[in-house]
């Protein structure tokens, strides 16, 4: 059986907000290690890989690996019944036909209990090869969200060019064109806002802005985001949390 | 015109 108690229930609410528009149904794979999820969107253009490590929960108990098939829209609806400061406990027994959720307020004088019906989801698990990326950009997650949203006014896609000087996000469309360049600035006072670039080779890649904007729904989970790129391989957008991560992979656009 | 690729050719089912 699974028992996982999360002191900051708001984290789970934010995680659901960050994935529920990209994927509808997914298995939460529970094991000793924690709770993981991997799923592609319907069009197989983007993939979400989530890990909530066991040490983020107190206590965390999972005797036997379990796959909890969840409709994410339903789960996010139930999570809306939890207060932002509530402690959330997830429980499932080995038959895994329901997921029990308990929300306790901080005064511990209001306890609400919900049960969500689970479903059988036959999803294939994909092997994600270890990749050494040609360019890795670390930047403010709020800045990345702003750039994606701003450029979406101009075009459906963005060209990302990374050199050792900086990273340029450019978009061209019917009404005109726009570009935002962030210079590498490791010396800024505010570490959280620094743009850092690790570069083996310059890269120039095109991606759908619709998906990137969707990924930025994870912004409340982390102040930093990393963009890992190599020519003609999927972009990796990673938000690191205290005990885990949310990674998005996006297939590039090719051709002129 | 650019075309959108998919992830199928990059990631293998395990």
Q: What interface predicted TM-score (ipTM) does this complex get? A: 0.93
pLDDT of residue A142: 97
Picking from A124, A157, A234, the nearest residue to B2 by CB comes out as A157
Question: How far off is chain B from A106, nearest CA to CA, in Å?
Answer: 43
Q: What is the pLDDT of residues A173-203, one digit of tens each?
A: 999 999 999 999 866 678 888 999 999 999 9
Beta strands at A157-162 and A166-173: parallel, antiparallel or unpaired: antiparallel
Which of A42, A45, A204, A229 to mutate to probe the B interface, most B CBs <10 Å?
A: A45
A256 CB near a chain B CB, below 8 Å?
yes
CB-CB neighbors (< 8 A) of B5 in chain A: 45, 251-254
| H/E run at residue B4 | strand B3-4
Q: What is the pLDDT of residues A23-50, one digit of tens each?
A: 999 999 999 999 999 999 999 999 999 9
Picking from B5, B12, B13, the nearest residue to A252 by CB comes out as B5
Q: What is the pLDDT of residues A200-228, one digit of tens each?
A: 999 999 999 999 999 999 999 999 999 99
In SS3 terms, chain A reads as CEEEEECCHHHHHHHHHHHCCCCCEEEEEEECCEEEEEEECCCCCEEEEEEEEHHHCCCEEECCCEEEEEEHHHHHHHHCCCCCCCEEEEEECCCCCEEEEEEECCCCCCEEEEEEECCCCCCCCEECCCCCCCEEEEEEHHHHHHHHHHHCCCCCEEEEEECCCEEEEEEEECCEEEEEEEECCCCCCCHHHCCEEEECCCEEEEEEHHHHHHHHHHHHHCCEEEEEECCCCCEEEEEEECCEEEEEEECCEECC
């Amino acid at each position: 059986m699974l028992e996982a108690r999360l002191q900051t229930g708001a984290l789970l609410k934010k995680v659901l907000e960050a994935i529920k528009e990209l994927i509808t149904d997914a298995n939460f794979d529970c094991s000793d290690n924690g709770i993981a999820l991997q799923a592609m969107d319907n069009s197989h253009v983007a993939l979400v890989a989530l890990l909530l490590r066991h040490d983020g929960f107190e206590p965390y108990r999972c005797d036997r690996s379990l796959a909890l098939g969840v409709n994410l829209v339903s789960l996010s609806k139930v999570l809306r019944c939890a207060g932002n400061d509530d402690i959330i406990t997830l429980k499932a027994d080995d038959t895994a036909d329901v997921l029990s959720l308990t929300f306790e307020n901080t005064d511990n004088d209001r306890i609400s209990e919900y049960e969500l019906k689970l479903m059988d989801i036959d999803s294939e698990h994909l092997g994600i090869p270890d990749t050494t990326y040609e360019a890795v950009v670390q930047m403010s997650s709020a800045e990345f969200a702003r750039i994606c949203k701003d450029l979406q006014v101009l075009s459906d896609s963005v060209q990302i060019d990374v050199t050792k000087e900086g990273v340029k996000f450019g978009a061209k469309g019917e009404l005109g064109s726009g570009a935002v360049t962030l210079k590498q600035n490791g010396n800024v006072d505010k570490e959280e806002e620094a743009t850092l670039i690790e570069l083996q080779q310059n890269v120039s890649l095109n991606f759908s802005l619709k998906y990137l904007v969707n990924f930025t729904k994870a912004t409340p989970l982390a102040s930093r985001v990393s963009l890992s790129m190599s020519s003609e391989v999927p972009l990796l957008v990673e938000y690191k949390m205290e005990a885990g991560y949310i990674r998005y992979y996006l297939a590039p656009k090719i051709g002129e | 015109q650019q075309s959108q690729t998919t992830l199928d050719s990059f990631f293998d089912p395990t």
